[in-house]
Amino acid sequence: MVLWIVIGVVAVVLVWLVFTYNRLIRLRNESEQGYSSIDIQLKRRADLIPNLVETVKAYAAHERAVFDDVTEARARTLAAGSVGDAVAAEQQMRGALGRLFAVAEAYPQLRASENFQQLQEELSDTEDKIAAARRYYNNVVRRFNTAQQTLPTSLLAGPLGFRPREFFELEDEGDRAPARVEL
């Protein structure tokens, strides 16, 4: 009888170990897939940037510094190799695009351009997709980190080499502030 109890306990522990390990692997893979989704959308936005810059250049050729900033931000986005690099590149890109759109505001004929409007709509759609991908990624990272930091899973996660993932967070506190609308 004791032998069957020992076999039963060992079987339960083995099933738990396999289940827990597989869950951690699944969450790690989901977080990698989530980051990949962010990366794809950031690259999509970076691919839209040259078209947007060329459209604005046609109207505002003397705004060289703005175009250089956008080009540098685009290169940094494409070169991002980690979550931290991607967050920094994202911040730089948002600032550069803000300056580019500020230049566009000074040219009413540019804002009326069908090409510019289409690029703005595509960029807006891409920004929405980036936000959705970030939310998904951060949700999976939260679940992954929680799973490996709670007992009894933490007893297995550390020795097997599972490490917490980095969230894709805003670094600029100004981005958290509500938008001001003045009429």
In a 13 Å sphere around the CA of 156, the CA atoms on its Cβ side amount to 18
Sign (positive or negative) of CA dihedral 66, 71, 75, 80: positive
State the Cα–Cα distance between residues 106 and 56, nearest whole angstrom. 11
Burial class (CB in 10 A: 0-12, 13-18, 19+), 42: buried
Instruction: Output the pLDDT for position 28.
Output: 94
Q: State the 10-residue block means of pLDDT for the chain, 183 residues long.
A: 92 93 94 91 87 77 77 87 86 86 79 78 89 93 93 88 86 50 36
Q: Is the peptide bond before 178 cis (omega within 30 degrees of 0)?
A: no
Instruction: Output the pLDDT for position 62.
Output: 64
- Which domains, from first to last, does the chain contain? 2-167 (1.20.1440.20)
| 126 token code pair | 């891409």
Contact 42, 90 (CB under 8 A): yes
